[in-house]
Amino acid sequence: MDGVTKTNREAWEAASHKHVREYDDLLAQAAAGSSLTAVERELLADILSHGPEVVHLQSGHGLEDTALVQAGAKSVVGVDYSAVAAGAAQRRADELGLACRYVVGMVPGVPLADSVADLVYTGKGALIWVDLGAWAGEVARLLRPGGHLFVYEGHPAVPLWTWDSDVPGIRTDRSYFAASHVNDTFPARGAIERQHTLGDIVTAVVTVGLELISLAEYPEPFWRPGGIRAAAWDGRLPNAYSLLARRPADAAGS
Ligand SMILES: C[S@@+](CC[C@H](N)C(=O)[O-])C[C@H]1O[C@@H](n2cnc3c(N)ncnc32)[C@H](O)[C@@H]1O
C-alpha cells in the first residue's frame, strides 16, 4: 500500500467512528430510507424496478444501501476499506432486517467475484479517493453484461468554490487541473484528495468498454459542509453530477 493510500485509509478509519457515535440518528435515517436524492430515484427507477443485485463501492455509512433495498433492490453488498464504517453499516442493516452485506476491502482490489452486480452504485465523495483507471476497470469487472454503473458525485469543480455567503468565489490555492489537494473537511487528518476532471471521468468509463447513457450536472451540492449557506450553492454553479453507463449485453462473458 503506498503512503497516500495508507494515510487516507487511516484518516477514514478514524473519521468513521462518527458513524458509531451517531448510530441512533443514522439508524433512524436508514429506517426512513430517505438517503437517495430525487435525481437518484428518478434515474434509477427503471433499474430498481427489476430487483437488481447491487454492489456499492465505498459504501461509508451505508445509508444509501438501506434506501436502495427499500426502493426495490434485491440486495446490496457494500465495500469499504474502513472496518469501522462497514461494521456500523452492517449492524444497522441487520437491525432493520434489510438485505445488505458489508465487505471490508480496497477499491481497486474488491474481494468479490467477476460479474456479480446488476448495478454498481457509488459516489457522494467516493471517486476523489481512487485511481480512476483502476476504479473503472474494477467496475467493468464487477458488472454483469447489461449491468449498469450509477454515479452521483460532487462536481470536480467543487474544490474551487469558496464558502463566502455574499458572492460566489474561486479559491486562489486551488486549480481545476491540479492532481490533488489536502482534504480540509471530512475526513481531514491529512488525507489527500485526488482531482479528476469531468473529461477524465467520462473517458475512464468509456475506456473500459461501458456505454455512456447519461451525464448531467446540478447546482445543488450533495453535501453542505459547515452548516453555512455559501453563495456558490445558490444555483449558478455546478456542484454535483450524475453518470449512468451500461456494460454492453453482448460483452465477453455474456
Ligand atoms: C464520503 S464516503 C462515501 C459516501 C457514503 N455515502 C458516505 O457518506 O458514507 C467515502 C468512503 O470511501 C471509503 N474509501 C475511500 N477510499 C477507499 C478505497 N480506496 N477503497 C475502499 N474504500 C475507500 C472511505 O472509508 C469512506 O467510507
Check pLDDT > 80 for residue 250. Answer: no
Give the number of domains in the chain. Answer: 1
Q: What's the CA angle centered on 251, arms 248 and 254, to 5 degrees? A: 110
Q: Which residue range is the domain that position 90 belongs to?
A: 3-246
List pLDDT tens digits, range 150-187. 999 999 999 999 999 999 999 999 999 999 999 999 99
* Closest ligand 1 atom to 13 CA: 25
Query: Mutate which of 81, 102, 139 to test ligand 1's pocket (most atoms within 8 Å of Cβ)?
Result: 81
CATH number at residue 221: 3.40.50.150
On whether residue 253 sits in a domain, the answer given is no
Decide: residue 148, CB within 10 A, 0-12 exposed, 13-18 middle, 19+ buried: buried
Q: What is the pTM of this model?
A: 0.96
On whether residue 254 sits in a domain, the answer given is no
- Mean pLDDT over residues 108-115, rounded? 97
List pLDDT tens digits, range 42-68. 999 999 999 999 999 999 999 999 999
On whether residue 102 sits in a domain, the answer given is yes
Confidence of residue 76 (pLDDT cuts 50, 70, 90): very high
| Angle between the N-to-C axes of helices 198-207 and 132-142, in degrees from 0 to 180, rounded to the nearest 10 | 40
For ligand 1, atom 14, the nearest C-alpha belongs to 58
- For the chain, how big is the Rg over CA atoms in Å? 18
Decide: residue 169, CB within 10 A, 0-12 exposed, 13-18 middle, 19+ buried: middle
pLDDT confidence of residue 253: 45
Q: Are 74 and 98 in contact (CB under 8 A)?
A: no
On whether residue 122 sits in a domain, the answer given is yes
For ligand 1, atom 7, the nearest C-alpha belongs to 60
